[in-house]
Structure 1
Amino acid sequence: MPAKKQPTASDFKNFTPYKPKKNEEYMNESQLEHFRHILLSWKSELMEEVDRTVSHMKDDAANFPDPADRATQEEEFSLELRTRDRERKLIKKIDKTIDLIDADDYGYCDTCGVEIGIKRLEARPTATMCIDCKTLDEIKEKQQLG
């Protein structure tokens, strides 16, 4: 069974993109509420995946007498657990992002302090850097690896 792609915020189509009103203040209460809703929905879907995995592993766990069948099942469970571990880390990141919203410190770049932007945050609600700083960060990372 192929590993599932890790979900991103854009996988959740159940929100309407935010349309800022003319002269609207950035990260006002309605914008913060918009992103809180996106993050809570995303977290909820991830938690449902965790529950499905636990159920699947309980229901499908079998002690196959054939070593090849047993190995196949163990590999499948291992892949699922790795995916759930990534999702667990993502849930922690979502919780930290919700804390930023609660602290009225959401939507601004950690590096330079500029607005990250509504469209970027809708694409990646856990973003903590503006696109320019993130791009520079990735370039530096590639140079260090290269």
Structure 2
Amino acid sequence: MATKTSATKSPGHLLTEKELLAMPESDYMNAAQLEFFRNRLKELEQEILANADTTTENLRETQFVPDPADRATIEEEHALELRTRDRERKLLKKVQQSLALIDSGEYGWCEETGEPIGLQRLLARPTATLSLEAQERREMRQKLYGD
């Protein structure tokens, strides 16, 4: 029985975070890295959609509770769940936009400066569209001018 000597050499192998970070800068946003982030974004998309389905089921299970305090607790839990899903709905849009950027070859590059966003930043926030410096400048402008 043959064994693989290196998992990175097998076709269709997804990189680990360690393998991703070990690659030279010249490999930035190569096919393997793009596939890594496509997979990460697809997993996030599926998780958000599954959470939405769970919320729908939870809200369908209407409970009649005669105690006003219990009813208020249930209503507050539903409101919190709906706020969470609203944030996830916005994140889902960003995830889908990031997947489109992968398809167009623009993923991983700052939309403001054209510079690399950076692997560390994309690992922390796969939907980032700005480099850390550009994001900091944008936040400073918003703070100063209320943009």
TM range (shorter): 0.7 to 0.9
Residue 43 of structure 2 corresponds to residue 51 of structure 1: no
Unaligned runs of 5+ in 1: 1-14
Aligned residue for 1:35?
37
What letter is aligned with 2:79?
S
Aligned residue for 1:7?
none
Asked if the contact 2:95/2:127 (under 8 Å) is kept, the reply is: yes
**Identity fraction in percent:** 44
Aligned residue for 1:130?
131
What letter is aligned with 1:83?
T
Residue 88 of structure 2 corresponds to residue 87 of structure 1: yes
Larger Rg, first or second structure (1 or 2): 2
For normalisation by structure 2, the TM-score amounts to: 0.80
Aligned residue for 1:16?
16
After superposition, give the CA deviation of every residue in 1:10-51 in whole Å (9 maximum; x if it has no partner): xxxxx8211353464321111110100110111111222222
The 2-side partners of 1:30 and 1:57 are apart by: 41
For normalisation by structure 1, the TM-score amounts to: 0.80
Residues 22 and 69 of structure 1: is their aligned pair in 2 closer, same or farther, counting only changes over 3 Å?
Answer: closer
After superposition, give the CA deviation of every residue in 1:114-140 in whole Å (9 maximum; x if it has no partner): 011111111111000011111111111
Q: Which moved more, 1:28-37 or 1:42-51?
A: 42-51
Q: How many residue pairs were aligned?
A: 130
Asked if the contact 2:94/2:127 (under 8 Å) is kept, the reply is: yes
Unaligned runs of 5+ in 2: 1-14
Q: RMSD value over aligned CA atoms?
A: 1.7
After superposition, give the CA deviation of every residue in 1:72-109 in whole Å (9 maximum; x if it has no partner): 21111011011001101111110010000001111111
Aligned residue for 1:139?
140
Q: Which secondary structure does the structure 1 equivalent of 2:28 belong to?
A: coil
Aligned residue for 2:9?
none
Q: Which secondary structure does the structure 2 equivalent of 1:19 belong to?
A: helix
Q: After TM superposition, give the deviation of residue 68 of structure 1 in Å.
A: 2.6
Q: After TM superposition, give the deviation of residue 142 of structure 1 in Å.
A: 1.7
The 2-side partners of 1:123 and 1:68 are apart by: 40
